[in-house]
């Protein structure tokens, strides 16, 4: 077969627009998802049994079901149950934020647990009040330790976001699929789409190991 990549130049703008939607969706869901994840991570290590049960149920449910099913459920079932129309974008944000919250909460939980009891001994010996312990000792260490895994979580989210094309959101994947259908040139179009995802995701995965080495080297935490 003959490959002709020149047809893609016609769709440059459409692809860029799709990429923009993908990036916007990913960044918003990273921010909201990490905040949710940290709160849920704290709840899961809390002494309050109700908080622990609720947060665990949420995390296990979202980790134990396919993201595609979650997306469909939020797109089609949630509006029926709430009786309100949600825009495509809002539904996408809700679905991917809940997914991101579930996976990052595990990351934060692990990093919170990895802070040894001797750090708390030091806090007591220095007379640090509870709020200072949390803000100046626990939180920065938990976040620093979580960064490498969080970055991996972000890369996963960026890739998983392609699923929103299945519910008609005009992201990079959706645009690519449409172009491929209309031009009957799936090899060229889908290869380029894959390449675009890769060019963005690859540096991030590399950054994970660099940052990991930095944090481990300098702070040994």
Partner 1 sequence: MIMSFSLPLVKMQSLHKSYADGAIQVLKGIDIEMKPGERVVVIGPSGGGKSTLLRVMMGLEKIDSGSVTFDGKPYISSGSSESKTVIDMSVRRSIGMVFQHYTLFPHLNVLQNLILAPCKVRGEAKSKAQDRAQTLLERFGLGAKAKAYPAQLSGGQKQRVAIARALMLDPKLMLFDEVTSALDPELVGEVEQVILQLAAQNMPMMIVTHDMWFARNIASRVIFCAGGVVVEDGPPEQVLGSPKEERTKEFIDRVFHINQ
Residue ranges that bind partner 1, judged by CB under 8 A? 118-119, 121-122, 124-129, 132, 136-137, 140-141, 144, 217-221
Return the SS3 of 86. coil
Query: Kind and range of the H or E element at 178?
Result: helix 172-183
| CA-angle at 10, arms to 9 and 15, nearest 5° | 80
The least distance separating partner 1 from the CB of residue 178, rounded to whole angstroms, comes to 48
The least distance separating partner 1 from the CB of residue 149, rounded to whole angstroms, comes to 17
**Other CB atoms closer than 10 Å to residue 120's CB: what's the count?**
14
**Residue 161: C-alpha distances to residues 46, 111, 120, 129, 194 (Å):** 31, 26, 40, 42, 13
136 versus 209: smaller Cβ distance to partner 1: 136
Please, which residue, 85 or 118, has the CB nearer to partner 1? 118
CB of 54 or CB of 115, closer to partner 1: 115
Q: Of the two residues 16 and 126, which places its CB atom closer to partner 1 in the complex?
A: 126
CB of 116 to partner 1, least distance (A): 9
CB of residue 129 to partner 1, shortest distance in Å: 7
Distance CA 192, CA 19 (A): 12
């Amino acid at each position: 077969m003959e490959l002709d990549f020149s047809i893609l130049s016609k769709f440059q703008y459409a692809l860029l627009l799709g990429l923009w939607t993908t990036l916007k969706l990913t960044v918003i869901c990273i921010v909201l998802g990490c905040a949710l994840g940290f709160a849920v991570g704290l709840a899961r290590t809390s002494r309050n049994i109700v908080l622990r049960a609720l947060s665990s149920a949420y995390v296990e449910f979202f980790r134990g079901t396919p993201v595609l099913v979650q997306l469909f459920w939020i797109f089609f079932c949630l509006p029926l149950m709430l009786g309100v129309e949600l825009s495509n974008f809002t539904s996408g944000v809700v679905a991917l934020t809940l997914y991101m919250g579930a996976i990052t909460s595990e990351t934060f939980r692990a990093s919170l647990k990895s802070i040894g009891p001797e750090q708390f001994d030091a806090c007591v010996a220095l007379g640090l009040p509870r709020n200072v312990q949390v803000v100046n000792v626990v939180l920065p260490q938990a976040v620093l330790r979580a960064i490498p895994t969080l970055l991996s979580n972000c890369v996963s989210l960026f890739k998983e976001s392609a699923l929103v094309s299945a519910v008609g959101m005009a992201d990079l994947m959706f645009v690519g699929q449409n172009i491929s259908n209309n031009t009957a040139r799936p090899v060229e179009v889908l290869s380029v789409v894959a390449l675009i995802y890769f060019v963005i995701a690859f540096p991030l995965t590399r950054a994970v190991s660099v940052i990991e080495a930095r944090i481990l080297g300098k702070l040994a935490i």
